[in-house]
Amino acid sequence: MPVSSRIGARAALTMFALALAACLAVYVAMSAPGAWFPAAGVKALTARDFALARGTGALDHDALVISAVDATGVALLTANTDFRSVDYPVIAWIGSNFPVRADVRFLWRTDYAPGKLNSVQVAVAAGRLAPVNMSQNPDWVGRIIGVALIVRGPLAEPVLVDRVAIKPGGVVGQLGDRVREWMTFERWSGTSINTVTGGADVQELPLPALLVVALLLAAGLWYALARRRHAAAALPLVLAVLFLTAWVVLDLQWTWNLARQVVETRTLFGGKDSRERHLADGDGPLYSFVEKARAMMPATPVRVFVVSDAAYFRGRAAYHLYPHNVWYDPFANAVPVPSSLHAGDYVMVYQRRGMQYNPAEKKLRIEGSEPIPAEAVLVEPYGALFRIM
């Protein structure tokens, strides 16, 4: 490589680092809520501080699990607080499994108008809640004497709420939040083979976007200076170096995440047999239920119809049921037509609404259709197995 090209590449890398720092500085300065350097520290309310006023749920270790809404289609959790609104402009609810189309709102009361219940919409992305910036909200005044979260809509699966972080904002806090989002451990999931988020599911400033902007700024600045010095011939090399540098940064993030995944996988599955690994996996409760169901079914293959509100549960249940002759719809939340069921068939229901069973008459009603004779072979909190008679 010619000396001039090496010098150009080093200059481009320097400009890339400066552009990256400048982009971060501008973003933080423009987006930091509240004072740039607040004196207050972060407050947090854990799941044990919440009261579930409406809906059904219970504490599970350090999380509040909301399993169902009430008869009006609402789940509501509340907590008492006492802090100055001006000191804490950011509210971040930490949880998972929120339906994308659910109506989720943050509620609060103040000592300024204690009789008024205020609310703002909370965005849902990838099953998680985005932080809410309250710095420009005219109702965020006085002391906050109570906060709440309301979820409207049916829940296909239980919703988990771990805590709510009450943050003072500021440039340091804003930068720290972005770095934590980039470095958040992203566990393997059913979509990891196709896509990788690169950190937290919800990110205000994705690292790839930041790197692309910095790359373009560095390339533009280098070209402007090199053209004045009649040294722009090295532009292809400079672009390649900048692209590879940005790639390496993202690859280091991915490698660090992979290293943590290896440790977790070894801890979770190491030294266990096939059955123990299935029980330790994410669908362990489903596997346990199917295992009990298989023990109550004939050893020779029979027809089994699997229904569930979640496509994942339908597919996994079918996989665990083979070599039985399994029917399930991988795309639609469908149920078998009662006329297609014959004596000796089985219907497996797992976390599925719309199924009713009358044990006295031994009749199964599928989504309002005419009841058909069936025997409840296995009944669990989240699933049941029926044999058509």
Instruction: Spell out the per-residue pLDDT of the chain, length 389, in tens.
Output: 454 566 667 888 989 999 999 999 999 988 888 888 888 888 888 888 888 888 888 887 788 888 888 888 888 999 999 999 899 999 999 888 888 778 899 999 999 888 899 999 988 877 888 888 888 889 999 999 999 999 987 777 788 888 899 999 888 888 888 888 898 888 777 667 677 778 877 788 899 999 999 999 999 998 888 888 877 777 888 888 999 999 999 999 999 999 999 998 898 889 999 889 988 887 888 999 999 999 999 999 999 999 998 888 899 999 999 999 999 988 888 888 888 889 999 999 998 888 889 988 999 988 878 889 999 999 988 899 999 98
The token duo for 261 is 């995944």
Give the Å distances, CA to CA, from 209 to 23, 56, 68, 194, 225: 11, 40, 38, 19, 25
pLDDT at 300: 93
> Rounded to whole angstroms, how far apart are CA atoms 76 and 151?
6
Location of structure tokens 């690169």:
198
Question: Residue 179 CB: number of other CB atoms within 10 A?
Answer: 13
**Amino acid at the residue 221:** L
**How many CB atoms neighbour CB 76 within 10 A?**
19
Structure tokens at 338: 């009662």
Tell me which amino acid residue 84 is: R
Span 108-156, pLDDT tens digits: 999 988 889 999 998 887 788 888 888 888 999 999 999 999 998 777 7
DSSP-based three-state secondary structure for 69: coil
DSSP assignment letter at 74: E
Measured distance CA(345)–CA(373) in Å, rounded: 11
Total count of residues recorded for the chain: 389
Res 1: pLDDT:
47
105 bridge partner residues = 121, 150
Whether 57 contacts 47, CB under 8 Å: no
337 touches 331 (CB < 8 A): no
User: In this predicted structure, what is the pLDDT of residue 180?
Assistant: 86
CA–CA dist 76, 91 (Å, integer): 17
What pLDDT is stored for residue 107 in this prediction? Answer: 93
Rounded distance between C-alpha atoms, residue 41 and residue 168, angstroms = 6
State how far Cα 310 lies from the chain centre.
15
What value does the mean pLDDT of the chain take? 87
Answer yes or no: are the C-beta atoms of 49 and 146 closer than 8 Å: no
Question: Distance between CA 110 and CA 263 in Å, rounded?
Answer: 46
User: What DSSP letter does each residue of 227-262 carry, written as one string?
Assistant: HHTT-GGGHHHHHHHHHHHHHHHHHHHHHHHHHHHH
Q: Which residues contact 188 (CB under 8 A, 6 or more apart)?
A: 261, 265
Name residue 308's amino acid: S
Q: Considering only CA atoms, which of 103, 89, 99 is closest in space to residue 137?
A: 89
CA dihedral 150, 110, 32, 183 (to 10 degrees): -40
Residue 189: phi, psi to the nearest 5? -140, -175
Residue 220, H or E segment: helix 207-228
Q: Give the pLDDT of residue 20.
A: 94
Residue 339 near residue 332 (C-beta atoms within 8 A)? no
| Separation between Cα atoms, residue 175 and residue 190, nearest integer Å | 31
pLDDT at 58: 84
